[in-house]
Structure 1
């Protein structure tokens, strides 16, 4: 089971090999994840748009639409920009990892892999995503507080400007009265 109790986490696994998808789906289900499977990039993007996921496992090399192209679509969409993505690939060369990470993948795992390693990377990536979401929520609360304080400050400045204007009118009034008293004293 995932190490964190709480809501069931959803994972979308995308791979052009139905065999790989079946194995990944079963293994993730045993760990307590709710898993959706897709064998092509276009369908994966539709699924992501329709229901959202906590994490995507994305095969790097697929026909028609590569995993890198799917990842670019995910990162270019403001709604999915921060969706955690772990890139899976049969390419074991370092250039594949560099390409995946440069495209915006949160992690990269070369096939064949020990499922325990993938599970640990999934947990780490989900934990990081939780922390980022908590920070976003905290930032939103702080932004709201800052906006409220800015409005209060604006109101206080407005009140201060009114008070200063009233003070200046009173000073002018007092000065006018003093001038009138002096004229009366000079004439009287």
Structure 2
């Protein structure tokens, strides 16, 4: 997961330290030493994230943040404001200026890594939403950005045995959000969280009945809460468990005792992220223009795929990012139609689409390519990572039999998959990109089926 990060600070030693830390995690780093230079660089290079110091000459961080957030061309870029330790006034002013997140000096490495990773994921979702909005506009569809920018009616679940702390969180959030539910029992909270369709789950790390890490892992493993942001509460000194929590699926953390302005900022960020993801799914499954959807499987059709792939390729080239594409074909699909009828074949296609969609990212593009073929476009993904995703999908389809025609038929199914990564030579003719993946698909077919083949 790569990102281009703009570091803005007038102190050279601060810039060098942040630059070294970020480059060590393989991010691309550009730097500015004052507000005016930062504005110029943002316009020219469109970074994915901005790390913005507050105290600078010519134009302070608040002014820069406000201008960027008021500009339609840059409002979508996440901004992390760097503040002095425990300076609540700066944080409140930063929220009012539009800041998405905060880091306090001296900057902790765990905090820096967690914030950057969380915002990078958010930016990927925003970029894909904007890109699909452009494609929808080209072919007469609609965008989900309006929905994604509304967060006041968010549904938030707080899980905490500390009654005083839970009440503090409730009192802060009730001023900004419509529905806040507090639960003290983590076992009950797991059931409620899965059934409740929450926009955010806030959970403590310590419980008497269960391990907070286990609870986080359980939420992340369920289909219903796989994309629900999880914000954990952690003691300052509990670094080892904090890193583990981020590894098992937590999106971000807050240290206790809680800072109210930081709580608001982190909750705003995670709820926005969930709304952006929801908006992408609304585009995928509920697009107003039926002409872009396959009526049987409810995923995008070939017409939309052809139009959107051009935008994805253009975006990947501009950002110098990898791009992979997989084509999946159902093995012996004709035999299903011949043995059980076309109704069974239609039901199988719908169930295959469901299994694929549950095992790819919200930013990936899934479309019905034609007949019994599906295609998945994976931005910011190299061929090795794409192979791992494809192998997971192949295995999930092969292991669990499909029940067709009102549970009267149980049928084992496999798929063959071909994968290609975009090359420079594909830029002149995108069809070559598709043809290469198609060639690997037929190689998988000819070498025994139920396998993944790539270069």
TM-score by length of structure 1 reads 0.70
> Secondary structure at the residue paired with 2:257?
coil
Deviations 1:58-96 (A, max 9, x none): 001111112211111111111111111001122434323
Among candidates 3, 13, 16, match of residue 161 of structure 2: 16
Q: Which has the higher helix share?
A: 1
Tell me which residue corresponds to 2:194.
49
Please state if 1:32 is matched with 2:177. Answer: yes
Tell me which residue corresponds to 1:90.
235
Please state if 1:124 is matched with 2:124. Answer: no
The question of whether the paired residues in 1 share the 8 Å contact of 2:157 and 2:201 is answered with yes
Q: Which structure's CA Rg is the greater one?
A: 1
Deviations 1:21-64 (A, max 9, x none): 11111111122341000112101112113322110100011111
d(CA) in 2 for partners of 1:130 and 1:101?
A: 21
Higher RCO, Cα 8 Å, sep 6+: 1
The question of whether the paired residues in 2 share the 8 Å contact of 1:92 and 1:110 is answered with no
> Secondary structure at the residue paired with 1:19?
helix
Tell me which residue corresponds to 1:178.
none
Q: CA deviation at 1:126?
A: 1.3
Change (3 A) 1:6 1:82: closer
d(CA) in 1 for partners of 2:150 and 2:278?
A: 17
Deviations 1:116-164 (A, max 9, x none): 101101111111222222233334466332366625x9xxxxxxxxxxx
Among candidates 150, 166, 188, match of residue 370 of structure 2: 150
d(CA) in 1 for partners of 2:208 and 2:251?
A: 22
> Secondary structure at the residue paired with 1:144?
coil
Tell me which residue corresponds to 1:104.
249
- 5+ residue gaps, structure 2: 1-97, 99-148, 288-292, 294-298, 303-366, 374-455
Q: CA deviation at 1:8?
A: 0.9
CA RMSD of aligned residues (A): 2.4
> Secondary structure at the residue paired with 2:370?
helix
How many residue pairs get aligned? The number is 150
